[in-house]
Structure 1
Amino acid sequence: MDSNDLTQWVVHIEVRLKPRVARSFETLRGHVHDWLTSSFERISLPSSLEGWEDIPVLASAVEHVEACESVCPHPSLAISEISFQIHIYQLSSTDTFEEYTNHDGVQTGEDDTTASTVWELPNRSFEGMWESLIFPDTVKLQLLDYIQATFVLSDADIDFNLVTWNRVVLLYGPPGTGKTSLCKALAQKLSIRLSHRYPQSRILEINSHSLFSRWFSESGKLVQRLFTSINALVDEEDTFIVVLIDEVESLTASRAAVMAGTEPSDGLRVVNALLTQLDKLKHKKNVLVMATSNLMNAIDTAFIDRADIVQFIDLPPREAIYAILRTCLMEMMSKKVVEPVDVPTIADARMYERAGDFTSMSPSEAPEDPDLLSVYVAFRLLELAAECKALGVSGRALRRLPVLALAKYIGVGSITTHLSPPMSMKNVQANGNGRPVVTNGIPRHVGRAADVVTWLGAIGKVLKDRPALPV
């Protein structure tokens, strides 16, 4: 086969630098490319890459290298099939960059609340959030592709009067499904992917509730005042801005309800002001507006019509729940809270399920053989995932299950972690039951990592204790 006939798949490589490293990004990009092409025959997607530690110029500057998700349907690619796009970035450790209040320098009592908060991107607070979000389909990649499409059309100088886009995304669905987290994670991802265009990126999160004034007719003015600040940020053309409007129904209550007299007339001014400001922003290339809602039916249709993407984010299905619970277990194993064991991926678990490997397994009898124990863990996780699905447990509540399991059924005193203060043996009074002992007036814990079977059983008990579980 002619090498020119090979399909080239774009693979994004994200290279996180150590704090305070001052190196030419372009030079480092070249070193990373040379290392990738000389060290690998195939690359798994996605995966954390290792081996750069052996290259002195990379070892002194790099903190982490990640091969990201790809639209490629294959789990791995040969180097000859890859077109690399390498993104070099450093994290900002600043939590809050700036806060905008909803007054004009005049103290007005209870109205002096934070109208919005700005973070520099990419931010350490959001690192790892993208990978931790697990959805049943390609929602994340679709959102990334949408942003890329708008830049392709902008670069082609497409006539905006003939082909229009607003760069507005609306995510809606039940509470706790990860909508707000997805918006923040997408902003973080875009700040990395677009760093060659925009050396600076920021996310501005609007506090919707603070924009309603206790003074009649003031709320519309507050929206205009806030967007004046936003426009000042957007005018910096080398800065990419993501505007996040959480619980957007607070600002975009249906004008039909206002006209019917079921909503205050001040809400009409807020909706009109917001729509006017969005129409002004759509001509700016360096801004993306993301909104979330738990109450889709309460949003004004004119706002929905301005959204290029209206995406429903549902409660996770069984496969996504399995993957979420697996990441929880893997994290606790890495921190020595749970004894390590091989936890199969959802793909392997489904393979075991189709092959009938679970038919002889009992939830109360775990095998001692490590390979069979791994299959047993997959079996129990699938059972727990099905229970969570039947109960309608949200993604947010899923990640609380290990905490509730530890507190209610395992016992804090039975776990020893690396966070415990160092103790000399002569000062430790072990009482043999793993309960806290007091040394020099300080409670200590004597115990060890719990086995995975105990943890899975405790999570099952939490699910049966439904009043104690927010869903």
Structure 2
Amino acid sequence: MWPVHIEVRVSQSATARFDTIRNLVHSYLTSSLSRIFLPSTLSGWETNSVLASSIEQIIASESNSPSLALSPSLPIEQCALQIHVYQPSGSDAFEEYSSGRGSEGEEVMAASVCELPSRDWEGLWDSLVFPDDIKLKLLDYIYATVVFSDADVDFNVVSWNRVVLLHGPPGTGKTSLCRALAQKLSIRLSHRYPHTRLLEINSHSLFSRWFSESGKLVQKLFASVMEMVDDEETFVVVLIDEVESLTAARAGAMAGTEPSDALRVVNALLTQLDKLKHRKNVLVMSTSNLAKAIDSAFVDRADIIQYIDLPPPEAVYQILRSCLVELVNKGIVRPIDVPSLREAEVNRQHSASLPPLEAKLDRLESTTLLGETKFDVSSASIEVDQVSAQVKLELQRKARCAEVGQRLLRLAERCRDQGMSGRSLRRLPVLAHARYIGIGIGFTSPNPSTHHHHGVNGVTSGNGGGGRKKGKGGALPGTEVEIWLDAMDKVVENHGVERGKFES
């Protein structure tokens, strides 16, 4: 039995109790499903009137079962279902938070506070792609601290500081990962902490014109954090972005190259961290683009020091695929099944040994006549023609999807060679549209025949102009996925040229 996490999002108008919803979802899953695919959005529960009136979405999130490396699904009898029922906050995501007043009586906005789970961050966790199961490792670390805290382990014997440090190049998703982890914890720990708050510290604001008071501002800020933590029903995540701004190495201060106030800030921060580590309901996460500038005492307090590198080609593929799938779902790209990474890699490995599409089509009629279709002599030719046409279309569709996967793999490798960050990858579709596609093609070109040469033998995906999903404003999408791939290829090429100019 392996734990499988099921996340159930409840609507704001729901009246049923959470434990009732949890029991009904468990009953539905165990009685209606034979296997659970991970990750996936579940359906079919809408037939239950209580669930239909209370739930917005059910997602089978993840599991640490080793068999998932071979198959994307698990038999239901091998699943220890962990059902997390949550209701996202409908309020604004952030509120500015003051840590006191400076010497001139002006308030210093040193942090922002967010109530979690937030509807604005739905899907953020799944959109982040990292190698080596970094996300699950961080979740497992949090669970370990919870287990040790519940067991009342003696801190004098076994100690941990509840501090995580993520470092690496800019744009690799460090801050987004911290926010996504806070959102995930607000869902996973909702049964024991009804409330979760994320406090993001604005490191730069603490070094303002009241520079001499920065140490005091840090103390005031963490005094407010301690007040939040005093509420034992609230889990508090403290995010210190660009932590090197607060923890500039004390060696420089001792050598006289750094102001003494920087030394006071570091000491104040370390003192506050030592106080927080004894509280069960707090986690401190920090990010840095300049790991060498971080004070060694802060680094020593981090339970996990995780390097977040530029995404490898496999992660780049998944990021680009998620972008294309989103454009398809929103009607900007015409409907097509973009292969998963596993499917694309399998297609690449077997492409040399597979017979060409033309050979398959040439053998189609003889295969059909040999018994795949039952027919009488008078209608044989008609039925064979109909079946042949359908199978040809299906083969052409699959061949086109496979080619899209291969092109996306090659694009992913080019992006990795260019050293593109996750942030750069996610703006590729916008730049591709702005530079090489244009408004006139993206939404207002309803005639698919203008781009038929991008399909396989002139065949395009979808179910015809009348049945396709309309984009915003009612205009039909008019862009094939091949056009987007061409445009993104050009953006990547241009990125390399411009970066070379910049570096020279």
Q: What is the TM-score normalised by the length of structure 2? A: 0.82
The answer on whether the counterparts of 2:102 and 2:210 sit within 8 Å (CA) in structure 1 is: no
The one of 384, 409, 422 equivalent to 1:382 is 409
1:270 corresponds to which residue?
265
Offset, 1:369: 1.9
2:342 corresponds to which residue?
347
**For 1:172-218, what per-residue CA distance to the aligned partner results, in whole angstroms no more than 9, with x for missing partners?**
00000000000000000001100111011110000000111423521
2:275 corresponds to which residue?
280
CA distance in 2, matches of 1:315, 1:398: 11
Establish whether residue 118 from structure 1 lines up as the match of residue 113 from structure 2. Answer: yes
The answer on whether the counterparts of 1:339 and 1:449 sit within 8 Å (CA) in structure 2 is: yes
CA distance in 1, matches of 2:493, 2:475: 29
CA distance in 2, matches of 1:329, 1:357: 27
**For 1:6-39, what per-residue CA distance to the aligned partner results, in whole angstroms no more than 9, with x for missing partners?**
xx10111100011232321011111111111110
Residue 292 of structure 1: SS of its match in structure 2? strand
**For 1:11-69, what per-residue CA distance to the aligned partner results, in whole angstroms no more than 9, with x for missing partners?**
11100011232321011111111111110011111111111111111000000001111
| Aligned sequence identity (%) | 59
Offset, 1:113: 3.9
Offset, 1:136: 1.5
Code of the residue aligned with 2:435 in structure 1: it is: K
1:322 corresponds to which residue?
317
The one of 230, 233, 245 equivalent to 1:235 is 230
Code of the residue aligned with 2:483 in structure 1: it is: T
Residue 242 of structure 1: SS of its match in structure 2? strand
Code of the residue aligned with 1:381 in structure 2: it is: L
Offset, 1:279: 0.2
Establish whether residue 42 from structure 1 lines up as the match of residue 69 from structure 2. Answer: no
| 1:34-73 mapped onto 2 (5 Å cutoff) | 34-73=27-66
Offset, 1:99: 2.2
**Would you tell me which structure has more helix in proportion to its own residues?**
2
Change (3 A) 1:65 1:129: same
| 1:370-449 mapped onto 2 (5 Å cutoff) | 370-416=397-443, 448-449=477-478
1:101 corresponds to which residue?
98
Offset, 1:101: 2.1
1:458 corresponds to which residue?
487
The one of 8, 13, 23 equivalent to 2:6 is 13
Residue 465 of structure 1: SS of its match in structure 2? helix
CA distance in 2, matches of 1:338, 1:92: 32
Offset, 1:243: 0.2
Q: How many aligned residue pairs are there?
A: 437
CA distance in 1, matches of 2:282, 2:476: 52
Residue 86 of structure 1: SS of its match in structure 2? strand
CA distance in 1, matches of 2:151, 2:313: 43
CA distance in 1, matches of 2:47, 2:210: 64
Change (3 A) 1:104 1:216: closer
Establish whether residue 188 from structure 1 lines up as the match of residue 217 from structure 2. Answer: no
Change (3 A) 1:262 1:105: closer
Structure 1, gaps ≥5 residues long: 1-7, 362-366, 421-427, 435-443
CA-based RMSD of the aligned residues comes to 2.5
Code of the residue aligned with 1:392 in structure 2: it is: G
| 1:289-368 mapped onto 2 (5 Å cutoff) | 289-357=284-352
Establish whether residue 80 from structure 1 lines up as the match of residue 77 from structure 2. Answer: yes
**For 1:282-312, what per-residue CA distance to the aligned partner results, in whole angstroms no more than 9, with x for missing partners?**
0000000000000000000100000000000
2:24 corresponds to which residue?
31
Residue 24 of structure 2: SS of its match in structure 1? helix
Change (3 A) 1:369 1:76: same
Structure 2, gaps ≥5 residues long: 357-392, 452-472
Offset, 1:103: 2.8
Offset, 1:454: 0.5
Code of the residue aligned with 2:57 in structure 1: it is: H
The answer on whether the counterparts of 1:173 and 1:296 sit within 8 Å (CA) in structure 2 is: yes
Change (3 A) 1:161 1:252: same
1:134 corresponds to which residue?
129
The answer on whether the counterparts of 1:92 and 1:123 sit within 8 Å (CA) in structure 2 is: yes
CA distance in 2, matches of 1:83, 1:359: 40
CA distance in 2, matches of 1:148, 1:159: 17
CA distance in 1, matches of 2:485, 2:229: 49
Q: What is the TM-score normalised by the length of structure 1? A: 0.88
The structure number with the bigger radius of gyration is 2
Change (3 A) 1:446 1:190: closer
Offset, 1:329: 0.3
